[in-house]
């Protein structure tokens, strides 16, 4: 039986970590594509030379030729510019849309049956554009953002409560921007509501609420916090790990329920847009979307986030991208 073939478009910071994780976890054979001559070849050679230590037999191929995508089962796209300090994700729209256009045309040409995970920003717009240009069915085109945003939320909760992050269930819905919606009411530690634990810790409901607001705000601004510290680019270790979790659910048909930037066809009252929602990921890609019951406040936040996605997509149309 052949190993899965995973193509990575964009061999920069995230692309490099993706290739290394695929090798270390022995997920499949990887192809790392970039437009910079020799660069992906150099990264793959470097990672492959750790095979004697990491003991993997999967192959890694760096390339500047799209033809090497042929036969890919999964394509993960990180091609495009990352943010610099002071930039919002939306500032990347024009440059990255032009890059995404050429990427989508080539993936359509050389990997027409693949499942595509997009990471390039602004995420919700780039997923929309890729699907439009490729014409791939919606279940085979989706984005990584919610897994990372939710991991950030869970990490901050774990630090605050002094418990293992393994026991935290926390989810962030909506678009991948400042309007994202960390779901406070559903956040729990092995079933115990996080708010209940915060109230017990501080013995003061108002203080607990204030602390949670800080965790939520930090989650929403977490990408920018990293950009500010790195100064030369944006987060790359955690986005790569997040896309790998999605990849594992697909290649092993695990049907993990993960927050995915998925196409909505009426769910959450939204039709025709890609938005972050809980989805079942399996061998067919997005196999099901779960609708969570939202209260009035949560619905208003979700609507606000969906409107931000709609504005971004309208901007793309207006600019003819
Ligand atoms: P970076 O290290 O700059 O890598 C991007 C790579 O894309 C570079 O090596 C470029 O040479 C390459 N590239 C440029 N144009 C093309 C093209 N036409 N075809 C193929 N490759 C091309 O960036 P990065 O890896 O840090 O980030 C990649 C993208 O992910 C950026 O748009 C980030 O904003 C985005 N990002 C998303 C998240 C999410 O959670 C959604 C998190 C962090 C970063």
The verdict on domain 5-145 having CATH code 3.40.50.720 is yes
Catalytic residue numbers read: 176
Residue ranges for the chain with pLDDT beneath 70: none
- The confidence score (pLDDT) of residue 276 equals 98
Q: 53 exposed, middle or buried (CB, 10 Å; 0-12, 13-18, 19+)?
A: exposed
Residue among 229, 216, 254 at smallest CA distance from 85 = 229
Pocket mutation for ligand 1, best pick of 9, 12, 177 (most atoms within 8 Å of C-beta): 12
- The confidence score (pLDDT) of residue 80 equals 96
Contact call for residues 28 and 58 (beta carbons, < 8 A): yes
In the chain, where do the E strands start and end? 5-9, 29-33, 60-63, 74-77, 115-118, 141-143, 168-169, 172-173, 181-182, 188-189, 192-193, 256-265, 271-282, 285-289
Calpha distance 18→24 (Å, rounded) = 10
User: Residue 46: phi, psi to the nearest 5?
Assistant: -60, -50
- The confidence score (pLDDT) of residue 84 equals 84
- The confidence score (pLDDT) of residue 86 equals 87
Ligand 1 centre to CA of 241 (Å) is 15
Residue ranges of the alpha helices (H) in 38-145? 39-48, 51-54, 93-110, 123-134
Structure pTM? 0.98
- The confidence score (pLDDT) of residue 252 equals 98
- The confidence score (pLDDT) of residue 198 equals 98
Cβ of residue 123 lying under 6 Å from some atom of ligand 1: yes
Report domain extents, the chain: 5-145, 146-321
Ligand 1 centre to CA of 258 (Å) is 23
- The confidence score (pLDDT) of residue 90 equals 84
Ligand 1 centre to CA of 82 (Å) is 6
Cβ of residue 173 lying under 6 Å from some atom of ligand 1: no
User: Residue 62: phi, psi to the nearest 5?
Assistant: -90, 140
- The confidence score (pLDDT) of residue 83 equals 86
> Looking at ligand 1, which atom is closest to the CA of residue 119?
41
The CB-side HSE value for 175 (13 A sphere, CA atoms) comes to: 28
Q: Which CATH number fits domain 146-321: 3.90.110.10, 3.30.70.1230, 1.10.150.20, 3.40.50.300?
A: 3.90.110.10
């Amino acid at each position: 039986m052949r190993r899965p073939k995973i193509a990575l478009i964009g061999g920069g910071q995230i692309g490099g970590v993706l290739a290394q994780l695929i090798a270390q976890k022995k997920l499949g054979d990887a192809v790392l594509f970039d437009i910079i001559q020799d660069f992906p070849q150099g990264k793959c050679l470097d990672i492959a030379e750790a095979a004697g230590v990491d003991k993997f037999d999967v192959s890694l191929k760096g390339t500047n030729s799209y033809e090497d995508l042929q036969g890919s089962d999964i394509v993960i796209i990180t091609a495009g510019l990352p943010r610099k300090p002071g930039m919002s994700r939306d500032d990347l729209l024009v440059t990255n849309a032009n890059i995404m256009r050429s990427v989508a045309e080539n993936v359509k040409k050389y990997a027409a049956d693949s499942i595509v995970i997009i990471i390039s920003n602004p995420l919700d717009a780039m997923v929309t554009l890729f699907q439009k240009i490729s014409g791939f069915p919606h279940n085979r085109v989706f984005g990584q953002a919610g897994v990372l945003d939710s991991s950030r939320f869970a990490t901050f909760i774990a630090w605050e409560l002094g418990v293992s992050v393994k026991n935290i269930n926390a989810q962030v819905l909506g678009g991948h921007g400042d309007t994202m919606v960390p779901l406070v009411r559903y956040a729990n530690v092995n079933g115990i509501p996080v708010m209940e634990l915060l109230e017990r810790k501080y013995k003061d409901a108002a203080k607990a609420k204030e602390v949670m607001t800080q965790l939520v705000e930090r989650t929403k601004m977490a990408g920018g916090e990293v950009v500010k510290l790195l100064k030369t680019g944006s987060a790359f270790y955690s986005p790569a790990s997040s896309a790998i979790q999605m990849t594992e659910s697909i290649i092993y048909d695990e049907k993990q329920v993960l927050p995915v930037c998925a196409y909505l066809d009426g769910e959450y009252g939204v039709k025709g847009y890609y938005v972050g929602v809980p989805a079942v990921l399996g061998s067919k890609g997005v196999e099901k979307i779960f609708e969570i019951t939202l209260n009035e406040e949560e619905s208003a936040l979700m609507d606000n986030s969906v409107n931000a996605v709609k504005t971004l997509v309208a901007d793309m149309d207006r600019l003819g991208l």
